[in-house]
Amino acid sequence: MKYEIYGQSLPNIPWAERTPGAVGPVWRSELNPIIKRDILPNGNSVFNSAAVPFNGKFAGVFRVDDKARILRLHRGFSEDGIHWEIDPTPLSLIGKDGTKTMVKGYDPRVLKIDDTYYICYCNCVDGPTVALAYTKDFVDFYDLGNSFLPFNRNGVLFPRKINGKYGLLSRPSDNGHTPFGDIFYSESPDLEFWGHHKHVMGTTCGWQELKIGAGPVPIETSEGWLLIYHGVLLSCNGYVYSAGVAILDRDEPWKVKYRAQPYILAPTEIYEQVGDVPNVVFPCAALCDADTGRVTIYYGGADTVVCMAHTTVDELIDFAKENS
């Protein structure tokens, strides 16, 4: 390994070597889509979801749009990170007064800090905005409330405090299918109150000309924070969502060190091109193994299914450096 991942060993990371003939820094799982739209009888689709290592296996929080087309979050469990069982009962959060409320939200990201798993998602109760919740056991989930005023989406927490404060990336937006959007960094002493907002990066051209948003939880490496993000272009047929890679400074993550111009993944497979929203690749989670540098990305395909792709920390960092 050329570069180091500052994180845990994950010898059981779901993994496949590069597919013969695959071009570029990322290769898709040949098992895609790993979760089909009809895994739950009451579900219309399952996509844009997040997995984490949990008790030697894996747990996750899944975006399930139900058959009334209400956006719900569901917990799920897996022995191998590939084959999942999703709880058919949508997640409810326990509020400060002890009452439980079913979440109406989407696009979760999940990470562990100390002994707690945090879920950062888009809450659509009072207009879309970034909200946080936590669990210690994937049984009881607690509400931490909205982090920002509406409208904001694509909230992604950093996995440790930076300069003594928690860090969060987000993308201020509008109430609809926002035709703009840059990534910002915010700080908090307690995960509840956020401020000191700083601009991180904006749109450029081509696949990321219209808006961008953070994807999986950033991966800490010897070169900086590895950020996989999505970018959107407007074609004559609507929005097209692809994924890219950037490296942010470790101590000042609002500073971009490298940012690859070409995408790392774009909707070119049938399960990314055809679905409820065509032409969407939307990464929400990445597992990594500090010993081998392996990285496995979970992403939504066409707002319909969950897919997986593989790469390594060396592939991503070299790609970002060589194509900045």
**Which residues lie near ligand BMA (CB under 6 A)?**
48, 106-107, 177, 241, 277, 280, 282, 300, 303
How near is the Cβ of 49 to ligand BMA at its closest, in Å?
A: 10
Q: What is the smallest separation between the CB atom of 312 and ligand BMA, expressed in angstroms?
A: 26
Cβ atoms within 10 Å of 195's Cβ, excluding its own: 9
Shortest separation between residue 119's beta carbon and ligand BMA, angstroms: 15
What's the sign of the alpha-carbon dihedral 147, 148, 152, 158? Answer: negative
Distance of CA 201 to the CA centre of its chain: 17
Give 57 or 177: the residue with its C-beta nearer to ligand BMA: 177
* Shortest Å, Cβ 188 to ligand BMA: 24
Report residue 317 CA to chain centroid gap: 18
| CA distance linking residue 180 with residue 26, whole number of Å | 27
Nearer to ligand BMA, 71 or 191 (CB): 71
Q: Where are the alpha helices (DSSP H) in 234-297?
A: 270-273
Using the structure block, give the residue that is written with the tokens 């991942």: 5
The nearer residue to ligand BMA, 143 or 303, going by C-beta atoms, is: 303
Answer for the pair 231, 280: CB distance below 8 angstroms, yes or no.
Answer: no
- Report residue 317: phi and psi, to 5°: -70, -45
Pick between residue 144 and residue 277 the one whose CB is nearest to ligand BMA. 277
Residue closer to ligand BMA by CB (options 111, 124) is 124
- How many residues would you count in the chain? 324
Tokens read off for 194? 């956020």
Q: Shortest approach of ligand BMA to residue 71 CB, angstroms?
A: 8
